[in-house]
Structure formats: structure tokens, C-alpha cells
Amino acid sequence: MLVLVTGANGFVGKALLARCIADPSLRLRGSTRAPVSEILAGVEPMLVGELASDTDWTEALKGVSVVVHTAARVHVMHDVSFDRLREFRRVNVAGTLKLAGQAAAAGVRRFVFISSIKVNGERTEPGRPFTPDDPPAPVGPYGRSKQEAEEALRKLGLDTGMEIVIIRPVLVYGPGVKANFLAMMRWLHRGIPLPFGAIHNRRSLVALDNLTDLVRTCLRHPAAANQTFLVSDDDDVSTEALLHRVAMAMGTEARLIPVPVSVLRAAMRLFGKAEVAERLCASLQVDIERTRQLLGWAPPVSLDEGLRRTARWFSARDD
């Protein structure tokens, strides 16, 4: 079975290819938007350019049975786009639909779309984790673009018969992680005191190894067809507890100051960090029962083991 993975040099795409490479029943093709210096041995490279409404996927789709679409426009630091939603739609909606439409026309059997929990929303109330059936409530342009892409894909699936599988990960961490999670590890490594010792929220996370294991399951599993799945490590933690567990994995201690959440939120708002404060202080939990029941799947890697693997990568970095 030939599988096309878009975003082959990205955080999720690269890890997925590495996980699948040992499966002799799979042939792997990885697409990128720009030339890359190297790609995994055994993966057929395919340069397709930017993900957009005019991208030609003809060559990349030849002989493909399953597409796993990991490429996307994600959060852009210091984004200066005049219309951020328009830019997210251009890539995440129009670009995705172009790929999926050509995939259906080429006879691709299944399209696995890596979406985002932001389709559900940004926060949950105590005892009410998100489920796949909750009404979508995206807040920012990224989440809205992912929701619109999901809706367009479902309609395309109904019109063409191509199976659509949607996976909404929570925060993904693991070797190669960037952005806020990497910054957090750097703070802990340097022993910087952090004002997060009084945050007792509950948040779901997912190890990169768990996400890629679920995606691999969804390549073939008959019950995955036309379903939406949430995924996590199934071990929800507070921001305070997460910092302690990351520090333990790194062989250090978290120096946390118990600043009241109301004070922390107000201070971060003053510095233009209201969105960061929300992610640090609010709860966001998911219920993965459908994923367990329909697929017989459970996270193969615990939260602590996932953190240890991430810590080993962090220690081995040369930057």
C-alpha cells in the first residue's frame, strides 16, 4: 500500500514516516513544499511546492491508496498578515481541498486529515472534556480554518466516496518540539524561577509517539472510515504538575512561585500575552473513549515516558 504523507519534513510528518518505515507492507512517499537536504531512507521524496488552491498533486498522487495530510499553516510568530483568517483559509482550507479533490479523482481510498482540538474550542469546564460530537467552537483563525477544512472534506467524501478520517490532537510534544513547550524546557534547564506554582487546571497533552501510532492505526482500520477522533495521553495534568514532571524527566527541579492566577492573568495581559495566559491557566481536556472503543486503541506511551524521550532529545541538541 502506497501512503503519501504531506509535510514530510515537519514535526508530525517526519515522525510518522519514521514510525511507518519498518512496516514492509507500506510504501512511503513524502511531499515537501521546498527542497530538503535529506529525507528518510526508504521514503520517496516529492517536491510539490506551497500548499495552495493551484498546487498540482498529479505526480505525488500516482498509485497512492492513502493520503495523510499533516501540512498546514500553523501559528505564525509575529504574524503581520493584513487578514490572518484569509491566509489561514488560503492554505488550510483551499489548499487542503485542492489536494483532497485531486486525491479522490486519482482513486485514493482514504484521506487522513490532521486537524486540531482548536476546532472544539480553547477551554473546557471542570468535568466536561471535549468529545468529537461537541458543536465546534473555534476562537482564532487557525481553529476556524481547520473547522472549515473538516466540513469541506466531509462533503467531498460524501460526493466522491473517498473515506475521510479526521484526527484532532491536543498539544503535541516530543523530540523536535518547538514554540512554548521548548521555551518551557529551556526555562527549567536554566533554573529560572517561574510564577506558575498556583495553577491547578487540567490539560490534556499527546506524545508525538502516541499521535503517530494512532495515525498508523487509521491507515487501514475499517472502523476509522468517516470518523472524527480525539487523541491524548489520557493522563491530564495541571500546568504546575506538568512543569514538575518535565523537570523530573530532565533531571532537574522546577522552581515555581505560587502567584495567584488572577494576578498572573492580569500581568500577562499587560504585556500582550493574554493568549499565552489562557493556555497556561485554563483547562482543556478531551475524552478519547470513541478512539478507544472504535479502534481498540490505547496510548502506547505514558506521559512520563513521552517526557523522558523529549528530555533525551533536548539534552542531545547541538543548538
Residue 77 is predicted with a pLDDT of 42
Please write the tens of the pLDDT for every residue from 83-130. 789 999 999 999 999 999 999 999 999 999 999 999 999 999 989 999
Please write the tens of the pLDDT for every residue from 2-14. 999 999 999 999 9
For residue 99, which of 138, 72, 136 has the smallest C-alpha distance?
Answer: 72
- Sign of torsion, CA 289 294 295 296? positive
For residue 254, which of 262, 245, 263, 244 has the smallest C-alpha distance?
Answer: 244
142 is catalytic: yes
Confidence at 81, pLDDT banded by 50, 70, 90:
low
Confidence at 39, pLDDT banded by 50, 70, 90:
confident
Q: How far is it, in rounded angstroms, from Cα 52 to Cα 261?
A: 42
Q: How far is it, in rounded angstroms, from Cα 165 to Cα 197?
A: 39
Which superfamily is assigned to 2-173+206-232 in CATH? NAD(P)-binding Rossmann-like Domain (3.40.50.720)
Going from N- to C-terminal start, the domains of the chain cover: 2-173+206-232
Please write the tens of the pLDDT for every residue from 237-284. 999 999 999 999 999 999 999 999 999 999 999 989 888 888 899 999
What's at 301, amino acid-wise? V
pTM of the predicted protein model? 0.94
The Cα diameter of the chain in Å comes to 57
Q: Which of 130, 142, 187, 314 is catalytic?
A: 142
Please write the tens of the pLDDT for every residue from 125-181. 989 999 999 999 999 999 999 999 999 999 999 999 999 999 999 999 999 999 999
Cα dihedral 41, 43, 48, 49 in deg (nearest 10): -40
pLDDT at 75 over 90: no
For residue 153, which of 238, 227, 212 has the smallest C-alpha distance?
Answer: 227
